[in-house]
Amino acid sequence: MTAETTETTGAADARFWAPGEHILWRYRGNGTDRVHICRPVTVVEDTAELLAVWMAPGTVCVKPVLSDGTPVHREPLATRYTKPRSTTRSRWFGTGVLKLARPVDPWSVWLFWEPGWRFKNWYVNLEEPRRRWARGVDSEDHFLDIAVYPDRSWAWRDEDEFEQAQRAGLMSTRQAEGVRAAGRAAVELIGAWGAPFRDGWENWRPDQEWPVPELPADWDLVPARLAS
């Protein structure tokens, strides 16, 4: 099942996706219009306040690699963001991921479980607020992240990558300051135990009859028009 809508120029014109629909959750390469991460997901909930999607185990996704095929995380940090890149298809072999995003937040919150549905942690992925289009949402990752644990403790993640991205010219000083400010706002939300942490999503389970979404051949399509 794929969402079939007309591309729109304003969020007010964009329809909500129904539970069970398949959409694409994508990230552009920093500073470019080229999509380098694409994850087919199933809509759990879509309202004016929240988009919740499920990335099932076994989903075929697209991820960046170096041009010689080396996984990005295996490249030394000093050259990780300067060597030429390509993309590859890869199956998500871990447990599934529930992704939650409020429309204007410069982050999304991901939930991870251990095998057997033992809740592991929340993960605040700092990113550009997602822009809706006919077949999903697009964003740009901002490197810096926050892990949040069941005891309500939290920790910064990927600070080294965040700093290196700035040195490599993928993020301006002004943009980096904005990302840090977004991170502080997320930390305040965690401290207050606001939504979605308080909402019990860790007890959610997917519909067992949902099929695993397929990766479309045109996963890297650049929409002619995007909704805000």
- Tell whether 4 is covered by a domain: no
d(CA 82, CA 85): 9
pLDDT value, residue 227: 45
Asked whether residue 3 carries a pLDDT value surpassing 60, the answer given is no
- Tell whether 205 is covered by a domain: no
Output the domain CATH number for residue 82: 2.40.380.10
Mean pLDDT rounded to a whole number for the chain = 92
- Tell whether 225 is covered by a domain: no
What confidence category does residue 13 fall into, taking pLDDT thresholds of 50, 70 and 90? very low
- Tell whether 221 is covered by a domain: no
For residue 190, give the 3-state DSSP assignment: helix
pTM for the structure as a whole: 0.91
What confidence category does residue 94 fall into, taking pLDDT thresholds of 50, 70 and 90? confident
Asked whether residue 2 carries a pLDDT value surpassing 50, the answer given is no
Asked whether residue 1 carries a pLDDT value surpassing 90, the answer given is no
d(CA 79, CA 85): 12
The phi and psi torsions of 34 (rounded to 5 degrees) equal: -85, 125
Asked whether residue 192 carries a pLDDT value surpassing 60, the answer given is yes
Asked whether residue 8 carries a pLDDT value surpassing 50, the answer given is no
Across 108-125, average pLDDT? 98
Residue 54 structural domain: 24-194
pLDDT value, residue 224: 63
User: Number of folded domains in the chain?
Assistant: 1
Across 62-66, average pLDDT? 97
- Tell whether 57 is covered by a domain: yes
- Tell whether 226 is covered by a domain: no
- Tell whether 214 is covered by a domain: no
- Tell whether 156 is covered by a domain: yes
Q: Which residues of 163-202 are buried (b: 16+ CB within 10 A; e: fewer)?
A: ebbbebebbeeebbebbeebbeebeebbeeeeebbeeebb
Percent of the chain with pLDDT strictly greater than 70: 92
**Model confidence pLDDT, tens digit, residues 30-63:** 989 899 999 999 999 999 999 999 999 999 999 9
